[in-house]
Chain A
Amino acid sequence: MKFSISREALLRPLALVAGVVERRQTLPVLSNVLIQVQDTQVALTGTDLEVELIGRTAPTQVDEPGSATVPARKLMDICKSLPEQSEIQFVLEDGRAVLRSGRSRFTLSTLPVAEFPNIEDGQGSVELSLPRGTLKHLIDSTSFAMAQQDVRYYLNGMLLELRSNLVRTVSTDGHRLAVCSRPADIDVEPAQKLIVPRKGVLELSRLLDDSDEPVSLTLGSTHVRAHTGEFTFTSKLVDGKFPDYERVVPRNGDKVFIADRAELRQVLSRTSILSNEKYRGVRLHLEEGNLRVMANNPEQEEAEENVAIEYSGPALEIGFNVGYLIDVLGVLDEERVQMTLADPNSSALMEEPGGGDAMYVVMPMRL
């Protein structure tokens, strides 16, 4: 194997592929990136056995096609730290990968290509295509609510629901839930519901941009695959039953207020400084035209803020994990936010005034 490539052509796909590679691996070859060189193409593959990402890029010159696996993170750190516009030459010499660029030379260890695992994907049954911007919006609007290392393993991922003319994502960690739906020009019958694991969701979002260019999806029974021009992403699916989001969206809320989103977010962020660092509880006192936000911590330090809101109704006092509220305010993009409450023990609904494509449900904390 011998080829040369510009630093810039290598760096973007390498950074994304290296993102899939876990720092701590049980299998040594999983710390490596697989480099496959053909006449006009260099393909980079990273995998953790659950998620696999292949990135393709164009070399400047190929002298000898071939393949090798080299430590992903070291390769990326070297490429990153080389000067911009550097030209990098790769040569496989006696089982070691030699990188040359200008007056620099690096020799990296390799592991046999045959040891590099291929993610086994079953037959894809459904194929469809979505605008990349649509899928990215859906993922980015909901991924923050996914659970992390929960014993309810099916919560450590995102539900992707595809039905005719509609695509929807749902995530929840059991304390809050995010759901976002958008119309789409797809024809899926019967409707498909897949749970994409947390890591796959985060990596997939990094591949996507806001464009209307298509991303094609292949849905299998155990895997999902996404193609964009330069990338092929494959993820195992989580086998499990995702909670029914419709059952937890509150319908009984009768106290509806509207606030300036950025202002409310700042108020909550400031108040949170003096909330319990771990559990982050804040109290909201809702009253006509005003929302008072209060926090205190085990050191008995206190914060109090008032923010003007549109509200006329009975007073209510309710507690929340302030982080859950800030997360929602961070992903909504309207200028104003609407919050619907019922009582101190019932969930709150947050959305754009009048309702947008996304809904957020947050359970309170006992005061």
Chain B
Amino acid sequence: MAGTPRKILHADCDCFYAAVEMRDNPALRDVPIAVGGGVDQRGVIATCNYPARAFGVRSAMPTARALRLCPDLVLVRGDFERYREVSRQIQAIFHELTPLVEPLSLDEAFLDVSDVEHFQGSATWMAHWLKAEALKRTGITISVGVAPSKFLAKIASDWEKPDGLTVITPDEVDAFITALPVNCLHGVGPATAAKLEAMGIATCEDLRTWPIETLLERFGKFGKRLFELARGIDEREVRTHRERKSISVETTFHHDLPDLAACQDALLPLIERLAGRIERHGQPPLDKLFIKVRFSDFTLTSLECPSATPSPALFQRLLEQAWSRAAQPVRLLGVGVRLVSADARRQLSLFESDA
């Protein structure tokens, strides 16, 4: 690798919304709690605490299912104003360390500390300091991953969660990646994982034995990314000025969905995952909904419509229209929302009911 290795931190609050609720109401500390929408609105879990996770409750899970797994689950309606405030305090700590902060959501950020001279330039000490300051100032624990690249820092922060601190030094990168299961790589979902498994690939070491030509042939442009990640190559920079323009989820199915009815069935879980993801981003105001359909012949179509809420009925209507353009089996479905930009939000509205 050329030049001096970078030092990237990935800081991730532990079950953030739930942690804020537990901090503000100690009675909730040792009981299973979750922040999310109610069953009556087909809500999903945005976050849950560790007692709830012991029951198998996970974020993006429909609340109805979470309550079946854990009947005593205390459901808290999210207070995003309060979460945003805590998030601001934590982001402020990040910025005391370095201006190179890339927030990913309210509770997660990358920091490039390569040029920070404090703590004698030790990223490990900086990580300790971040954790201590966040706990002292906000009462929230964060897990931090330290690595020479973004993708490894993110994997590292998850390694010893909660309250974790995992450091992958440049010397350790190779050994770490060798043993890394491929489904830990960002972008490897169930469909890709199954395909990799069929090729006999379980770890990055297995992945490295395949030439780039074969990976490109089987995975398209993601093949190049797989080839690089398996070798620890991830040159993406920490980008401080990034405005999120959309939030979306998509799935490639193990088997193509044969008809519209099958697509309609597959759409609901996607919409629920999307709702969870929108909540994780602090319920930003929405501008449009969109749908993405890739057919079995790999043709892609997408369609959008204006809406301020991720209405399942609207998504179903978009799906019908988009599907009828080709009326073929479907290999991939995606749903998403386009956000009202920060600039557009500066314009005030005449009617109070507006966002």
Contact = CB atoms under 8 A, between A and B. Distances in A.
A281 B344 CA distance: 10
Contacts of B344: 279
Interface in B236-271: none
Interface in B278-308: 306-308
A347 B347 contact: no
Contacts of A361: 350
B351 A248 contact: yes
Contacts of A172: 350
B343 A174 contact: no
Contacts of B308: 151
Nearest to B347: A365
Interface residues of A, number: 23
Contact of B343 (A175, A176, A279, A363): A279
A364 B343 contact: no
Contacts of B350: 172, 174-177, 243, 248, 347, 361, 363
A165 interface: no
Contacts of A276: 343
B349 interface: yes
Interface residues of B, number: 12
A174 B354 contact: yes
Contacts of B351: 174, 243, 248
B348 interface: yes
Contact of B348 (A151, A243, A278, A363): A363
A365 B354 CA distance: 15
- The residue in B307, B308, B350 that gathers the most chain A C-beta atoms within 10 A of its C-beta is B350
Given A174-B354, A279-B343, A364 B306 contact: no
Interface in B310-355: 343-344, 346-351, 354
B347 A151 contact: no
Contacts of B354: 174
Interface string A295-333: 000000000000000000000000101000000000000
Contact of B347 (A149, A243, A321): A321
A23 interface: no
A74 interface: no
A363 B346 contact: no
Contacts of B307: 151
A151 B310 CA distance: 13
Interface in A169-185: 172, 174-177
Nearest to B354: A174
B348 A365 contact: yes
Nearest to B349: A174
Nearest to B287: A151
A174 B351 CA distance: 7
B155 to A, nearest CB: 35
- The residue in A279, A319, A345 that gathers the most chain B C-beta atoms within 10 A of its C-beta is A279
Contacts of A115: none
Contacts of A187: none
- The residue in A151, A176, A366 that gathers the most chain B C-beta atoms within 10 A of its C-beta is A151
A361 B344 CA distance: 19
A320 to B, nearest CB: 9
A172 B351 CA distance: 10
Nearest to B345: A366
A177 B350 CA distance: 8
A149 B305 CA distance: 10
Given A150-B306, A151-B306, A174-B354, A366 B343 contact: no
Given A174-B351, A174-B354, A319 B306 contact: no
Interface of A: 149-151, 172, 174-177, 243, 248, 276, 278-279, 281, 319, 321, 345, 347, 361, 363-366
10 contacts: A149-B306, A151-B308, A248-B350, A276-B343, A279-B346, A279-B347, A281-B343, A361-B350, A363-B347, A365-B348
